[in-house]
Amino acid sequence: MKLYCLSGHPTLPCNVLKFKSTTIMLDCGLDTTSVLQFLPLPLVHSPRLSKLPGWVSKDGTINLEKELKECAGRVFVDSQPEFCLPEKELLDLSTIDVILISNYHCMMALPYITEHTGFTGTVYATEPTLQIGRLLMEELVNFMERVPKAQSATCWKYKEIQRLLPGPLKDAVEVSTWKRCYSMQDVNSALSKVQLVGYSQKVELFGAVQVTPLSSGYSLGSSNWIIQSHYEKVSYVSGSSLLTTHPQPMDQSSLKNSDVLILTGLTQMPTANPDGMLGDFCSNLAMTIRAGGNVLVPCYSSGVIYDLLECLYQFIENANLGSTPFYFISPVANSSLEFSQIFAEWLCHNKQSKVYLPEPPFPHAELIQTNKLKHYPSIHGDFSSEFRQPCVVFTGHPSLRFGDVVHFMELWGKSSLNTIIFTEPDFSYLDALAPYQPLAMKCVYCPIDTRLNFHQVSKLLKEVQPLHVVCPEQYTQPPPAQSHRSDLMLELQPPPMPYRRCSVLGLPFRRRWERIQLLPEVGPVATHLSDISILLSLVHHSAVLKNQPPIVQVLPLKKMRGSAVFFLSLPSQHGITEVKVEETTDGHILHLQAEDTLIQLEEDGTHIVCDDNEPLRTALRDLVLRFLMKL
Amino acid sequence: MAREVRCKTVEEPSLVALAKTHAATPSFKNKTASGSHLSNVHLCISSSCFLSGAGQDVGRSCILVSIGGKNIMLDCGMHMGFNDDRRFPDFSYITQQGRLTEFLDCVIISHFHLDHCGALPYMSEMVGYDGPIYMTHPTKAICPILLEDFRKITVDKKGETNFFTSQMIKDCMKKVVPLNLHQTVQVDDELEIKAYYAGHVLGAAMVQIKVGSESVVYTGDYNMTPDRHLGAAWIDKCRPDILISESTYATTIRDSKRCRERDFLKKVHETVERGGKVLIPVFALGRAQELCILLETFWERMNMKAPIYFSTGLTEKANHYYKLFITWTNQKIRKTFVQRNMFEFKHIKAFDRSYADNPGPMVVFATPGMLHAGQSLQIFKKWAGNEKNMIIMPGYCVQGTIGHKILNGQKKLEMENRQTLEVKLQVEYMSFSAHADAKGIMQLIRMAEPRNMLLVHGEAKKMEFLKDKIEQEFTINCFMPANGETTTVITNPSVPVDISLNLLKREMALGGPLPDPKKPRTMHGTLIMKDNSLRLVTPEQALKELGLNEHQLRFTCRVQLQDPHSDPDTLSRIYTHLKSVLKGYTIQHLPDGTVMVESIVIKVSSSAEEPNTKVLLLSWSYQDEDLGSFLSTLLKKGLPSGLSSM
């Protein structure tokens, strides 16, 4: 059993497990932090960005004016933003049998894996994961295609050139794998390979392995996976949460008794308490609005935004913000809000019971109904005419490199009345803001990451007791910025097996047994321990044992003493008249004189020497067998 | 005892004695939970013979299944045609007194129609059952509303007593555990259930019940063709021991959906054009929504002005359920729901009782669907006398209901107070209720590949026809038990065995890679039963584990042969002979003067007195018994004369 690690990003994993001749990919996260190296894509022509000077090395030997621009003291790539893909060279992607998706954030690289690689397998995901994942991909494609950029920068990626570039470009990793965004066609084709699963559904793979998604409590439809055979169990824990937010609570008990637990997707903000951050978010928002400023919240179109809206729903009345307009701008804003209301089965109990009334599970339905929250596909069209200030705008992309957020940065960045509140933990907010400096706007950093923290995970591991833990190497040491915090790492006995990008780990397994089915026609097998010859065959993907007549029995014997007596009592039935018994050191020799037949009885063997008298031989054979069985 | 199965365990190392299974007399009095893997499944259709359950009748569904020592109740329906005790299943079949909890492991409800869940509060609160009741989320949401609706009609309007109360419905629903599609729910350590999409109505499910390697699939009501708002039923190749299928439309192979829809619209259109009123009795949820979508689009397209009404305040609420459970509807609606929600109707308005007397044409959807009570019956009474009007019955009507009577052409109805009602309006029957027809049932059998088939929820004659068809086409047993009858099906479950990987690897090394699904492979191993588990290991490992020495059984057989050649020549001739007779065996002529066939040794000797009489010595161990015995018989016949001695 081997684990191939194709991504080094701890929260956007992509691992491949080879287990019992099946090849299973666990998630395919897309590392989008690479886009921070690129210039923002403005929706409206921006004189500032178009006038940036090109970059030429100090000695003038390297001239990349067209590809690199200097902006606010840093160098950015002037090209369509590119993403850092999972490693494609470590193993042949066409050999992958199935891909298990744990949540919609961890599937963004799917089209790169399933399209144009020869992949012929199946992708398993829950319905919310598929639907919301589709929305996020659609949004990403839309953001890119809305502002087409003809040029594609490639020269700077050459190793000899890259090492001469100023930081942080110089230190960007795996730049050769960076790719532009996929097309909608690729998305549709990739998602057509998804087969839907429900929590606790047992999915059989080729009769060899069973995989089961479990609720992970992190987002709508998010799951952890159990990969098991009759004797081995691997748990794959991806983004999980023990906090009470909108999704169904995490199923912890089913993770028990794993041989190996692969642990990924812990919180990226181990020191930030999500509840505290939510409080900060609300108070900063209220403060800015009261002062007449606007609030910009760069965010993904699904996930924490539902909780933010729910929190605001309770907050705005008390804070007297009832008349402040809230805008949610995204090509998929409407879909995201609508979809969130139809997945009752995947929600926490509280929200589930609302549907029985019947009422929509999320209160943003009411915000929309009362016109407090409005959603638009983009800043163009209706929004530009209906838009009132001061207001709160939720929009993407959280990297501030593309999407409608770029426009608001240009629009509001110059005024100190306005505030930008970062809630998504995926991007460093300083890096995100770099191309907009100098900035007068206030910046508040309230990252809300509900995933497990180190304290919760060690408690969880104590409870579920896996024999071995595999995790990204980042979790085996404190974060670089807080190297003294030994509580911000995993300390386990035996120590966790760390992996990094391109690692291949042999998992500590000793398989000894395999489960097969004995068909009823084989029985009654025998009395005593039976030695059998059987037909091993595959029926409906599972190995079965069929009868192979005759059943042959090997006979274990402990003692042969007294055997002669037994024999002497019986032969008369077969017309045997004269038996001479001779005692030897190991047993007896019986001589049937009329038949000229010898039976040599010893502790570890019986030897029958006779003429070609088949009836007699078989009679003696059965006699011996019967006798042996009586022992 | 529910089963006649024995798994005998003697002292360790123990014997494996697998007894054949026997048909057993059914009984629910003993809830036996045994760990044994051989058993039989039997089904009991509820209630004794004078009462009807789900058997050959479409009145109400309630099936008891006993499988692997577990007892499961499938659906708990009510008969709409009766007003007395007979409307509920006869639970005394399970126990004469006391609560049902200790006799049932779980109750599963397939969908929210009252003929499938109407007796649930009676069963759980009045007879007494505290165990889990499983149903899907939409069923859990809608079922209490229909129950309450029905309770109101029965108790408040008809003034019946001895009926369940609102509180009982609430208490009953507290025992419900929601089921998600395809989720494997572990009821206990041995019993697991899994729900599949069934179409039919919002939230309808088929369930698979599994204990060990035995399983039963119960379809509830289902339909195999997607309609305007629901998808088609689907199940994987789960090969259940028994497939219990409804057979409401056992003989009908219905014409295409489109034709029926066109027919329906045409009739509505004609009636409205000539100024008549159209009454469509429906259940608040289900078919009603499909017909609403149909009329809504038609009205839009034809620019029709006549009003469409939907009776009862349930409408809006009902449509809201459809919006929130949109994942349970068909592909098309799910795909477009963000842009246009199909359950927001522009032309269909709420009905008020006074509207029935309004002049001019109108279309009214009114509940209940079988005209046995409530608003639909009231409107019917008002409109029945006018031949311009029309009533369209879009679903099945149970015997005894007014719906059933008028469908049978009855023109004079006896109402309460000995009044007679003359039926002059046109009566049309359009089968819109989403049940599988004969084609659909066959299709489901093809999907699931059951070993036995059981038809319920249908009429005897029609079922008989379908039964013959199924037995012919699939050569599987098909049962159609009457009410109160028990069907016992003997299963042949396989026994799980743990095979040592050492053995498997050794066998693989011997003969190419596994698995080749087309070619079974012979393998040799020792089966050990220990600690209630079976293991197949290499013989050496077994002997070592049990501290035993192998006992060799060997035969040496003397065969006399007349062969006028020297001993080595005879041996050569034997070699050549065997080579030509035994193809595919390893035959070697060894330099030490022996011939080996596999591991059987053949030697030749002769005495000096009679050099032409050869004595062949064949020696083999018991493992090669077949071959050894064959060889001795073969050689006894002598060697053919034309053999060269090489």
* Interatomic CA distance for residues B646 and B641, integer angstroms: 14
Which of A215, A343, A612, A618 to mutate against chain B (most B CBs within 10 Å)?
Answer: A612
Sequence-distant (6+) residues with CB within 8 A of B96 are none
Paired strand residues for A4: A16, A504
Report chain B residues whose CB lies below 8 A from the CB of A343.
Answer: 327
Tens digits of per-residue pLDDT, B32-62? Answer: 322 222 234 444 333 222 223 444 445 678 8
Q: How far is A533 from chain B (nearest CA, A)?
A: 4
Map residue A472 onto helix, strand or coil: strand
Considering only CA atoms, give the Rg of chain B. 35
Query: Helix B257-273 to helix B287-302 angle, to the nearest 10 degrees?
Result: 60
Structure tokens at A559: 């003692």
A198, closest residue in chain B (CA to CA): B183
* Interatomic CA distance for residues A18 and A454, integer angstroms: 28
Q: Do B525 and A534 touch (CB under 8 A)?
A: yes
Q: Is A609 on the interface with B (CB under 8 A)?
A: yes
Q: What is the pLDDT of residue A550?
A: 36
Q: What is the pLDDT of residue A148?
A: 86
Reported as type and span, the H/E element at residue A626 is helix A614-630
Q: How far is B617 from chain A (nearest CA, A)?
A: 9
Out of B125, B214, B246, B290, pick the active-site residue: B246
Tens digits of per-residue pLDDT, B558-585? Answer: 888 888 888 888 888 888 888 888 887 8
* Interatomic CA distance for residues B62 and B371, integer angstroms: 23
Q: Is A607 on the interface with B (CB under 8 A)?
A: yes
Q: How far is A373 from chain B (nearest CA, A)?
A: 17
Of residues A198, A360, A544, nearest to B181 (C-beta): A198
Q: Do A609 and B317 touch (CB under 8 A)?
A: no
Q: Is the dihedral of CA A441, A444, A448, A452 positive or negative?
A: positive
Q: How many helices (H) and strands (E) does chain B have?
A: 16, 32
pLDDT above 70 for B81: no
Q: Which DSSP symbol is given to A248?
A: P
Q: Do B137 and A546 touch (CB under 8 A)?
A: no
Residue whose tokens read 């570039």: A165
Tens digits of per-residue pLDDT, A409-447? Answer: 999 999 999 999 999 999 999 999 999 988 999 999 999
* Interatomic CA distance for residues B634 and A461, integer angstroms: 69
Sequence-distant (6+) residues with CB within 8 A of B314 are B145, B149, B284, B285, B367
Q: Is A20 on the interface with B (CB under 8 A)?
A: no
pLDDT above 60 for B326: yes
Q: What is the pLDDT of residue A289?
A: 94
Residues of chain A with pLDDT under 70: 520-578, 627-631
What is the number of residues in chain A?
A: 631
Q: Which DSSP symbol is given to A205?
A: E
Between these two residues, B645 and A627, which has the higher pLDDT value? A627
Sequence-distant (6+) residues with CB within 8 A of A481 are none
Q: Is the dihedral of CA A618, A620, A623, A628 positive or negative?
A: negative
Q: Is A604 on the interface with B (CB under 8 A)?
A: yes
φ, ψ of residue B547 to 5 degrees: the values are 65, 40
Q: Do A610 and B526 touch (CB under 8 A)?
A: no
A-B C-beta contacts closer than 8 Å: 247
* Interatomic CA distance for residues A75 and A54, integer angstroms: 9
Which of A129, A510, A536 to mutate against chain B (most B CBs within 10 Å)?
Answer: A536
* Interatomic CA distance for residues B494 and B503, integer angstroms: 21
Between these two residues, B530 and A615, which has the higher pLDDT value? A615
Q: Do A628 and B527 touch (CB under 8 A)?
A: no
Report chain A residues whose CB lies below 8 A from the CB of B493.
Answer: 520
Report chain A residues whose CB lies below 8 A from the CB of B323.
Answer: 342
* Interatomic CA distance for residues A631 and B499, integer angstroms: 26
Nearest to A352 by CA among A222, A247, A242, A253: A247
Q: Over pLDDT 70: what percentage of chain B?
A: 83
HEC secondary structure over B457-518: CCCHHHHHHHHHHHHHHHCCEEECCCCCCEEEEECCCCEEEEEEHHHHHHHHHHCCCCCCCC
* Interatomic CA distance for residues A41 and A79, integer angstroms: 9
Q: What is the pLDDT of residue B53?
A: 42
Tens digits of per-residue pLDDT, B144-181? Answer: 988 887 787 777 766 777 789 999 999 999 999 999 99
Q: Give the start-end residues of each E strand in A143-275.
A: 194-197, 203-205, 209-215, 223-228, 233-237, 260-263
Q: What is the pLDDT of residue B634?
A: 85
Q: What is the pLDDT of residue B22?
A: 27
Q: Do B494 and A517 touch (CB under 8 A)?
A: yes
Report chain B residues whose CB lies below 8 A from the CB of A592.
Answer: none
Q: What is the pLDDT of residue B49?
A: 24
Q: Is A318 on the interface with B (CB under 8 A)?
A: no
Q: What is the dihedral of CA B203, B209, B215, B218, to 10 degrees?
A: -40
Considering only CA atoms, give the Rg of chain A. 35
- For chain B, give the mean pLDDT: 79
B4 tagged catalytic: no
Report chain A residues whose CB lies below 8 A from the CB of B182.
Answer: 196-198, 201
Between these two residues, B472 and B431, which has the higher pLDDT value? B472
Sequence-distant (6+) residues with CB within 8 A of A263 are A237, A457, A461, A469, A470, A471, A475, A490, A496
- In this prediction the pTM is 0.82
Nearest to B326 by CA among B314, B336, B317: B336
Which of B18, B342, B536, B544 to mutate against chain A (most A CBs within 10 Å)?
Answer: B536
Report the 10 Å Cβ neighbour count for B643: 18
Q: How far is B498 from chain A (nearest CA, A)?
A: 5
Q: How far is A303 from chain B (nearest CA, A)?
A: 18
Of residues A339, A515, A607, nearest to B556 (C-beta): A607
Query: Helix B314-324 to helix B137-151 angle, to the nearest 10 degrees?
Result: 170
Structure tokens at A551: 């059943």
Strands A392-395 and A326-329 turn out to be parallel
* Interatomic CA distance for residues B434 and B226, integer angstroms: 9
Q: Do A606 and B552 touch (CB under 8 A)?
A: yes
Alpha carbons within 13 A on the beta-carbon side of A142:
17
Q: Is A150 on the interface with B (CB under 8 A)?
A: no
CA B310 to chain centre: 36
Structure tokens at A10: 């701890």
Q: What is the pLDDT of residue B46?
A: 31
Which of B170, B497, B605 to mutate against chain A (most A CBs within 10 Å)?
Answer: B497
Query: Helix B137-151 to helix B166-174 angle, to the nearest 10 degrees?
Result: 160
Q: Do B18 and A525 touch (CB under 8 A)?
A: yes
Tens digits of per-residue pLDDT, B98-134? Answer: 888 988 999 999 999 888 999 999 999 999 999 999 9
Paired strand residues for A375: A328
Q: Do A604 and B550 touch (CB under 8 A)?
A: yes
Reported as type and span, the H/E element at residue B546 is helix B539-546
Report chain A residues whose CB lies below 8 A from the CB of B495.
Answer: 517-518, 520, 523
* Pure H helices in A264-321: 274-290, 304-318
Q: How far is B350 from chain A (nearest CA, A)?
A: 18
Reported as type and span, the H/E element at residue A421 is strand A419-422
* Interatomic CA distance for residues A513 and B505, integer angstroms: 11
**CB burial of residue A292 (10 Å; 0-12, 13-18, 19+):** exposed
**CB burial of residue A284 (10 Å; 0-12, 13-18, 19+):** middle
Q: How far is B637 from chain A (nearest CA, A)?
A: 11
* Weakest mean pLDDT among B370-379, B484-493, B542-551: B542-551
φ, ψ of residue A481 to 5 degrees: the values are -75, -20
pLDDT-derived band at B21 (thresholds 50, 70, 90) equals: very low
Tens digits of per-residue pLDDT, B240-267? Answer: 999 999 887 766 666 566 778 888 899 9
Q: State which amino acid sits at residue A125.
A: A
List the end-to-end C-alpha distance of chain B, in Å, as a whole number: 72
CA distances from A83 to A7, A93, A112, A152 (A): 13, 19, 11, 13
Specify whether the CB–CB gap between A258 and A1 falls below 8 A: no
Query: Helix A127-146 to helix A333-340 angle, to the nearest 10 degrees?
Result: 170
Specify whether the CB–CB gap between A256 and A232 falls below 8 A: no
Phi/psi-derived region of residue B439, left when phi > 0, alpha when psi is between -120 and 50, beta in every other case: alpha
* Interatomic CA distance for residues B235 and B219, integer angstroms: 10
List the end-to-end C-alpha distance of chain A, in Å, as a whole number: 44
Q: What is the pLDDT of residue B510?
A: 64
pLDDT above 50 for B13: no
Sequence-distant (6+) residues with CB within 8 A of A275 are none
Of residues A334, A514, A552, nearest to B499 (C-beta): A514
Strands B242-246 and B214-218 turn out to be parallel
Tens digits of per-residue pLDDT, A140-187? Answer: 999 999 988 877 888 888 888 888 888 888 888 889 889 999 999 999
Map residue B244 onto helix, strand or coil: strand
Q: Do B514 and A536 touch (CB under 8 A)?
A: yes
Q: What is the pLDDT of residue B370?
A: 80
